[in-house]
Chain A
């Protein structure tokens, strides 16, 4: 038992290391995270550039109250005599003599400026410049949609990892070398599934976390669990389907079977949503608390490895 556990840990570590050293896998796992980080940086850059200059030009001869009032409202001020030129060149946000306001463009800062001046004059109305930040509920739904799309890609990765790792290693003889070790014939397949599921699950959790940080994802925890279950289940389908196929021979058959299996699970789940919420992959579309699909997805791994040993271990 101890020897089996140690062998499983060793093989899983070796396969995870092998995957991480593969440039294509690194890129595949890294790009969703890179995409989110890139988006975040782009948003910061764009808002910084487009924020405009909150400096106001106070025209020569303006009353003494103008500058303190604007400072109190959070604006910087400069003195000048040309009310139009600096505004058109966007050197300043606006120019004013305390009564008249020359604005280049609108926006929340322009609104706040108008409010500051109107307040001083005791105006009976003020513009509404609270702005309308997007409703969090709306962005959370958007975030969830993005996660679903990304989750579909991750499920595909899972299937390719499960199928491809075994088929390629069979061609290269690596699988046979492991199958002659004094361990169960299921273990080499299980270790590959475990390594792929752990790496994909971890990468998925990071990706959802970052989308949640940017946009918000409604029930992000459930989305993480759904994705972890989906990738594990898809990898398990790959392991179960590969049989004796290698990359060079008979690969298209198992790949088609896995693709059909994934489509079948989604179709079944959407037809019977009560069941579908508990099925990995289908639950990504249907939603739910994510716990049962995650457990089902991870329970499929050992079953797939046993099936692999039965179908493809010794012939």
Chain B
């Protein structure tokens, strides 16, 4: 198995992240690691720069909001940091944990604290609403100013600029995170019950995607929107969303099978390639269509989980981070 895989390991630059990593992204060309200690690491591995976004706290969630990275902390702050390392305070919740964030490319942000959900659009207009139990996951619809809020016993869909209260999509159980399909037809939540739940928005048809041994913590849509890749099992489970029925009555595709659970997934932004990170620190690059695999990372010492994977916009480079504070930057070879 492993012997037959090609290898990209020589194209991976490993470096210490300085603290446990919980998120990774690129601000333009600049690699950014989000660290548990409330700081960000910006820049190339040779000369990273630490930015203290949350001096008194730890970061609970992060999202890209246009040209800035948004972070929410247990200090109650929502902070936007740009590629130059300049920070801007978006919201001060006076110590109330910021449990979830969402953002749009135009800089519109949403954050949740307890049952309260707030949006601030590009012009600075603030809207608030609340849901029946703690809001756990937020996601903006790809089109229109609409926010999905995952919570206990379902998800609520809210038009912040409309007077109407959020509309409840009910499904028993605890919904922890939310994502829209890129075409906006489906809403998918990851649940405490180690399953995904989906709604086809046009008719509220329910779809339950179950069978995971652990919670799904990482989900990623393919560039063409046809597939939703998920963590949580010892293979990467991909649900088909191309047809009008989505994954209903269909078997998912599986790839990147190993004897270790998948902790993180990230589709390439252009090609049908998928980066898969495992709980034992391995990273593979998989092509689900023919199950071809390339080895990206096989750690010698640090066997801690991959906690972050992110591609740059063009798909030339990929950044990864681990729970123990290691990081790596993969540069795909030409051709």
- The answer to whether A and B come from one shared complex is no
